[in-house]
A and B are shown apart, each in its own frame.
Chain A
């Protein structure tokens, strides 16, 4: 259940209803607070307003320019340049004052619109550019200023209007009820907000799985042969080339790519390694399932291999029968309809729930890490026991307190970690900064590397002390380092902090979710004793805690 507030100086009630429905359709419920268009300032500027007592998790602002400055369209071009520039500054300052007041009064994730550029007015081609340029400048200024407001995003209303076309602006509804959004823009706006929501909630997809014949390239490799398949810089090849380019960009951004194709493995590997026209190579794919098994089975194998959930996968296949089969068998996988015209296929990827909100070091290194993992697995196969494998990995774990340069990654870990996450608190940057600054609280981050490569920042723990008791608020470890027992190193650092803080005992809880069974026994394995259910709670005197099993790890903790 999330709490949403929609605050606007125009009518947004129809959008609220749509938001509720869209969330409901994905199995999520929400509580809504919708402002009357006359009381935006009251709700936002007064700390005791209904808005703040509603305590929203998400706050969407839509400020119409014509409501902020009635008749700007009719007067702006007639002002002197100095006055124009003053008006612009005033409008931006007014929006920023509202944003800052929201930020000072609540921690909700805040979405703020920019202003649509009106394509043409009665002033004509000679004078329309005056207001247009001003609106563009205000939008730039807003974008610039809002980057320094934590947990706040500027959604690009101007582009959304451009996407549906200005003719969707419904003058009838505007005159009737101050509703400027036409029937095409309404769903698009709501979906745009939900894109931010999914990304923040850790619901964004992480892996794109592609079929090969007539999807990644034109033609059928087994029939046409490597010389005849199409993906070169030719009219026949360009649609596939464009898809490959899109996948390349996503991969660079940290999305995993995988292949799921009914083909002879050796034929495909030869193409992946040598074909001159192919833009992606074997190393770009984190997993390859090339065989004659059914695709649902293969997608499950890819999910297992990469240790990600099916709800994080997108599957692209030109064959409608395969798509239908996967949709029916694995409803969690997103299987978009692909247009029959190959030229249009790459555009589908703009709408596949693949959003990320910030680019981190870990994103840039992700595929590299999965490739290193293949090497690691080969090495594991040559070591007789798992213990010996762990010993020989030469694991180095480094633990530091949260610092500004690690904030984006810390937020990302909170958003995305599902399996080894004891309490699954989806903290925002504001929450984390607040906790890191509190004298009784510590936010620890864990960096892991071994002889095969660097995993980056892959663990986070938050603990606080209250009258001699240390309480673990959050404890999570990214799935990519699971199985190395590095979680015990992070635990050891928490224990170390608790001792330094003068605590006598350690208290922790495990909150069950559908995805976090992997860590159900963690606290017992650490030597804590179960004391309650719902939530499952554990406690132990620090003096009695056994030493954690981290003999295979070289651990350094920066205090």
Chain B
């Protein structure tokens, strides 16, 4: 599912290579609060899912996002 990295790269306007498996706002300066908003909107649109406020607050690294997406798709 490296559609996910692709989407993050597009949304934050950075290269796919610069995204690691465990990237987070701490490792990617472009992943700031505005970047986070854009990312959530892009994820919801692309994968047809909806996150709760709690989930959006918790989604602070790539593994968590991956996990949430898997849970929602499995459901």
B53 close to chain A: CB less than 8 A: yes
- Residues on A with C-beta less than 8 A from B26 are none
B33 close to chain A: CB less than 8 A: yes
Q: Quick check: A177 and B41 within 8 Å, CB to CB?
A: no
From residue A36, how far is it (CB to closest CB) to chain B in Å? 12
Q: Which residue of B lies closest to A183 (CB)?
A: B41
Per-residue CB proximity of A156-174 to B under 8 Å, as 1/0?
Answer: 0000000000000001110
Q: Which of A17, A172, A175 has the most CB of B within 10 A?
A: A172
Interface residues of B in 1-52 (CB under 8 A from A): 33-34, 37-38, 40-41, 44-45, 51-52
Which of the residues B34, B44, B45, B51 comes within 8 Å of A14, measured between beta carbons? B34
- Residues on B with C-beta less than 8 A from A345 are none
Q: Quick check: B38 and A177 within 8 Å, CB to CB?
A: no
Q: Quick check: A13 and B34 within 8 Å, CB to CB?
A: yes
Q: Quick check: B52 and A172 within 8 Å, CB to CB?
A: yes
B56 close to chain A: CB less than 8 A: yes
Q: Quick check: B37 and A14 within 8 Å, CB to CB?
A: yes
- Residues on A with C-beta less than 8 A from B51 are 172
The size of the chain B interface, using a CB distance under 8 A, is 13
- Residues on A with C-beta less than 8 A from B52 are 172
> In whole angstroms, what is the CA distance A171 to B34 when docked?
16
From residue A6, how far is it (CB to closest CB) to chain B in Å? 13
Per-residue CB proximity of A163-206 to B under 8 Å, as 1/0?
Answer: 00000000111011101000100000000000000000000000
> In whole angstroms, what is the CA distance A312 to B75 when docked?
51
- Residues on A with C-beta less than 8 A from B37 are 11, 14, 173, 176-177, 179
- Residues on B with C-beta less than 8 A from A11 are 34, 37
- Residues on B with C-beta less than 8 A from A183 are 41, 44-45
Q: Quick check: A14 and B53 within 8 Å, CB to CB?
A: no
Q: Which residue of B lies closest to A175 (CB)?
A: B53
From residue A137, how far is it (CB to closest CB) to chain B in Å? 34
Q: Quick check: A177 and B33 within 8 Å, CB to CB?
A: yes
Which of the residues B33, B34, B38, B53 comes within 8 Å of A172, measured between beta carbons? B53
- Residues on A with C-beta less than 8 A from B56 are 172, 176
Q: Quick check: B53 and A17 within 8 Å, CB to CB?
A: no
- Residues on B with C-beta less than 8 A from A13 are 34
Q: Which residue of B lies closest to A13 (CB)?
A: B34
Interface residues of B in 46-75 (CB under 8 A from A): 51-53, 56-57
Given contacts A172-B53, A176-B53, A183-B45, contact A14 B33 (CB under 8 A): no
From residue B44, how far is it (CB to closest CB) to chain A in Å? 8
> In whole angstroms, what is the CA distance A17 to B57 when docked?
23
> In whole angstroms, what is the CA distance A14 to B45 when docked?
15
Q: Quick check: A176 and B38 within 8 Å, CB to CB?
A: no
From residue B18, how far is it (CB to closest CB) to chain A in Å? 20
From residue B14, how far is it (CB to closest CB) to chain A in Å? 15
> In whole angstroms, what is the CA distance A176 to B60 when docked?
14
From residue B73, how far is it (CB to closest CB) to chain A in Å? 20
> In whole angstroms, what is the CA distance A176 to B57 when docked?
8
Q: Quick check: B45 and A17 within 8 Å, CB to CB?
A: no
> In whole angstroms, what is the CA distance A176 to B53 when docked?
8
Q: Which residue of B lies closest to A173 (CB)?
A: B37
From residue A170, how far is it (CB to closest CB) to chain B in Å? 9
- Residues on B with C-beta less than 8 A from A175 are 53
> In whole angstroms, what is the CA distance A171 to B50 when docked?
13
Interface residues of A in 232-290 (CB under 8 A from B): none
- Residues on A with C-beta less than 8 A from B45 are 183
- Residues on B with C-beta less than 8 A from A173 are 37, 40
> In whole angstroms, what is the CA distance A175 to B54 when docked?
11
- Residues on A with C-beta less than 8 A from B41 are 14, 183
> In whole angstroms, what is the CA distance A422 to B45 when docked?
47
From residue A162, how far is it (CB to closest CB) to chain B in Å? 22
Q: Which residue of A lies closest to B51 (CB)?
A: A172
> In whole angstroms, what is the CA distance A14 to B40 when docked?
12
From residue A351, how far is it (CB to closest CB) to chain B in Å? 21
- Residues on A with C-beta less than 8 A from B44 are 183
Per-residue CB proximity of A5-18 to B under 8 Å, as 1/0?
Answer: 00000010110010
B positions within 8 Å CB-CB of A: 33-34, 37-38, 40-41, 44-45, 51-53, 56-57
List 8 additional A-B contacts (Cβ < 8 Å) besides A172-B51, A176-B37.
A14-B41, A171-B53, A172-B56, A177-B34, A177-B37, A183-B41, A183-B44, A183-B45
A positions within 8 Å CB-CB of B: 11, 13-14, 17, 171-173, 175-177, 179, 183
Question: Can you show 18 pairs from A to B with CB atoms below 8 A apart?
Answer: A11-B34, A11-B37, A14-B37, A14-B38, A14-B41, A171-B53, A172-B51, A172-B52, A172-B56, A173-B37, A173-B40, A175-B53, A176-B56, A176-B57, A177-B33, A183-B41, A183-B44, A183-B45
Nearest 10 A-B pairs (CB), nearest first?
A: A172-B53, A13-B34, A177-B37, A183-B41, A175-B53, A172-B56, A177-B33, A176-B56, A173-B37, A14-B37
